[in-house]
Amino acid sequence: MGVLVVLRSSPRWNGKDAQERGLPVDAEERMAAGLAEVPGVSCSGGAIGIKRNGQHDAALFVCEQPSVMAGVFTTNRFRSACVESALDRLHGGTGVKAVLVTSGNANAGTGAAGRADTELLAASLGELLGCRADEVVVLHTGVIGVPLRAERFVDKLPALAASASSSFAAGLTAAKAMMTTDTFAKTAVASFEADGVHHKIGGVAKGAGMIHPRLATMISVLATDATVHPVALQAALQRAVKTTFNAISVDGDTSPNDSVILLARSAQFPGADGQRTASVIREGTQAYESFCTALTEACETLARMIIKDGEGATKFIEIRIEGAATEQDAERVASVVATSPLVKTAFFGEDFNPGRIVSAIGRAGAEFDWSQLRVAIGGEPVFQNDTFLSVPAATARELMAQPELIVDIALGAGACALRFFTCDLTHDYVRINSEYTT
């Protein structure tokens, strides 16, 4: 039986100095190194020239052997060249040797030239790493509609590849190099057992704005040292993403670049010692369930960090839906409440106004009986029996002052339930997004 242990994760705070936050100055040293902690994976981060002033803008993750790949991508019909390229790799079923993530330019809306830029980076890295171009996945994030002109960056790739290592510093540097408007690096490591063997799952993510289900504006790369059948790997990722990356919203917007990549050892390719791994995790086994549990926990840790780092956010809000007639109804209610500007600004202003939540529920289009609807904020009942309840002013102020809040919504119409994570809407969100390209 597998036992899940979440080892470490990135801190869940904004990007201010540790001393200003009242945190130990060595707090960063206790973060997870993400993919660098997975045996057989090395990482690096550096500047290749996309961002100004020499800022780090490229993260590289290299596997010691070609790995099997699973992927989940944006459902936005406006897709970046990198998403199309990654989908080709996924459908082609080839092994993946490396993943390159660049930040500062989304390479979206750039036509055939944009696709050629993505493939040039893949081919150049493939040559450096001794593998084929289709064994390299390249992802981009940043400003939309600006030509990438990748030929300008090819000569910076050798240094990036040469610096790849499995050190803590390399793992953290890679996670930081992926960031755009993020204020802190997002990493997580989980462990599980399969057939008596201890395995790790490491992950990194970036994302702070344009965050909403299907997917959020985010990129995440995860890897495990377990050997997983390709069909099982894809099913596990889709299962994990459904309740994590597809259950978060900062602002109700999505992008053309959203990608979640998961790599695992493959029985199709020889290991570092030339031997093939005999034990393969497949669906329908206890090992698979243990793997899925650990993968979901790692994804949820990263998803929560994205919301905690929501652009300008000061509140983390967990919405718990129960008693929905269908899964779709639960999703509708959670999404409408999470994206309501009136609800989100009330939380920012610490304005106790449950009527905004109930109004959002009412317009969600979900099936429920008003006499059965129950709503609570921070454990305090605020609506039931078709009536708002009286809450003492002092209690209301104390509730709304909390940095993390749970909104419980019981629809009383069925047995479906879900959790959804969101944040408040602040002045800083408007400022950040009104100045994004300037």
**Helix intervals (H) in 227-326:** 230-242, 286-308
Phi, psi of 74, rounded to the nearest 5 degrees:
-55, 145
Strand segments, DSSP code E, in 112-270 are 136-143, 186-194, 197-206, 219-227, 248-249, 259-265
Nearest CA to 87 among 260, 296, 295, 216? 260
Question: Would you state the structure tokens that stand for residue 371, as one six-digit string?
Answer: 């006499």
Is 217 designated active site? yes
Q: Residues 75, 77, 82, 86: is their CA dihedral positive or negative?
A: positive
Distance in angstroms between the alpha carbons of the first and the last residue of the chain: 53
Looking at the chain, the number of H-run helices and the number of E-run strands are 11, 16
DSSP string over 10-49: ---S-SS-TTTTT--TTGGGGS--GGGGSTTEEEEEE--S
Question: Would you state the structure tokens that stand for residue 295, as one six-digit string?
Answer: 């993968």
- Give the C-alpha separation, 317 to 420, whole Å: 8
Phi-psi region of 178 (alpha: psi -120 to 50; beta: other; left: phi over 0): alpha
**Which of 74, 102, 181, 217 is labelled catalytic?**
217
Whether the CB-CB separation of 86 and 139 falls below 8 Å is answered with yes
Residue type, position 429, single letter? Y
Give 2's Cβ-side CA count (13 Å radius). Answer: 26
Q: Would you please indicate which residues are annotated as catalytic (active-site) residues? A: 217
